[in-house]
Amino acid sequence: MAHASQIIAPSRSESVDPVPPLPVTLDRLQALIHEQGLEVSQLLDPRRLAARTALSEDTVRILLRGGEPTTDTVNERVRARIKALADAHMARTGKPMSDLAGRISEQLGVSAFWARKVCSGEKVPSVELLHGLVGFFGVEGGEAYFTAPASEALNRVLVPVLATLQPTPEGPPADPVTEALSKFDDVRGIALRQARDLPQERWHVLSATLQALLELDDKEH
């Protein structure tokens, strides 16, 4: 397998409603936390957020304070976040790097040597291997989980938290698809935006599934 020397972040469609930037998300979260008498440490715990984003705790603390972390390259983000996931996996399972590298080698079709180099943060994976690691580690957001700037990575985790704290509007519920596409803080909308990073073959599967559900709904009516 050829190993790419540089990872290119996935392009984003301008037609999709944008997610609010991190400062807006943080302002709304802090206001809702204050209004509802919640504990900031429970919802904005740097250690938990670091684990969910594969960012360092220091980086998360800087972002939560409204600061800007040190500028990094896409390759540096990819190496650091894969290493963070690998370290967390080994700590959780109690198994050594050799076991992790062996599993990646078997499942993703790369050499155990290369898998070890990637998981230790020494090498940048190919685009194909990076795509495989998304599924192996079970991360959300596709390859963007590894390539997005730190502020976007943290924001992706906090927007669903914001959605759970938003008061439910009164009146009849809106059409779920319309609501998901029109409201950035709707969990379904977030899922649809994340789905834009799916490869073409998975889009076909998703499209066929939705079509089948719509046809089933028509028959039931």
Verify that 96 and 180 share a domain, yes or no: no
Write the pLDDT tens digit of every residue in 100-129. 999 999 999 999 999 999 999 999 999 999
Does a structural domain hold residue 3? no
Are residue 188 and residue 136 in the same domain, yes or no? no
Give the single-character DSSP code of 5: S
User: Residue 56 half-sphere exposure, CB side, CA atoms within 13 Å?
Assistant: 9
Q: Is residue 75 part of a domain?
A: yes
Residues 149 and 136 reside in one and the same domain: yes
Pair (221, 138) in one structural domain: no
Nearest-angstrom CA–CA distance, 111 and 10: 26
Q: What is the pLDDT of residues 132-191, one digit of tens each?
A: 999 999 998 899 999 999 999 999 999 999 999 887 665 555 555 445 444 444 444 445
- Is residue 15 scored above 80 in pLDDT? no
Q: 177 and 163, same structural domain?
A: no
Supply the pLDDT for residue 175. Answer: 53
Q: Considering only CA atoms, which of 202, 173, 201, 200 is closest in space to residue 188? A: 173
In a domain, 141, yes or no: yes
Structure tokens at 107: 């499942």
Together in a domain, 139 and 156:
yes
Whether residue 156 sits in one domain with residue 53 = yes
User: What are the CA-CA distances from residue 144 to residues 8, 126, 127, 150, 154 (Å)?
Assistant: 10, 14, 12, 11, 12
Q: 27 falls in which pLDDT band (50, 70, 90)?
A: very high
Check residue 6 and give its pLDDT. Answer: 41
Nearest CA among 115, 166, 123 for reference residue 7: 123
Q: Would you say residue 7 lies in a domain?
A: no
Residue 201 is assigned to a structural domain of this protein: yes
Q: What is the pTM of this model?
A: 0.65
Q: Within this chain, do residues 177 and 160 fall inside the same structural domain, yes or no?
A: no
Give the range of the structural domain holding residue 125, as residue numbers without chain letter: 22-167
* Any domain includes 6: no
pLDDT at 172: 55
Q: Which among 141, 167, 193 is the end of a domain? A: 167
User: Does residue 5 lie within any of the structural domains?
Assistant: no
10: left (phi over 0), alpha (psi -120 to 50) or beta: beta
| Statement to judge: residues 77 and 65 lie in one domain | yes
Count of domains in the chain? 2
Long-range contacts of 148-152 (CB under 8 A, 24+ apart): 148/9, 148/77, 149/77, 150/53, 150/55, 150/59, 150/63, 150/69, 150/72, 150/77, 151/21, 151/22, 151/63, 151/68, 152/22
* Residue environment code for 21-54, b if the CB has 16+ CB neighbours within 10 A, otherwise e: ebeebbebbeebbeeeeeeeeebbebeebbebbb
**Are 148 and 192 part of one and the same domain?**
no
Task: Indicate whether 154 and 99 sit together in one domain.
Answer: yes
CB of 91 closer than 8 Å to CB of 138:
no
43 and 104 co-located in one domain: yes
- Asked, for residue 107, whether it belongs to a domain, the answer is yes
Of the candidates 162, 141, 163, the one whose C-alpha atom is nearest the C-alpha of residue 149 is: 141
| Cα dihedral value 170, 175, 179, 182, nearest 10 | -120
pLDDT (tens digit per residue) in 38-55:
988 888 999 999 999 999
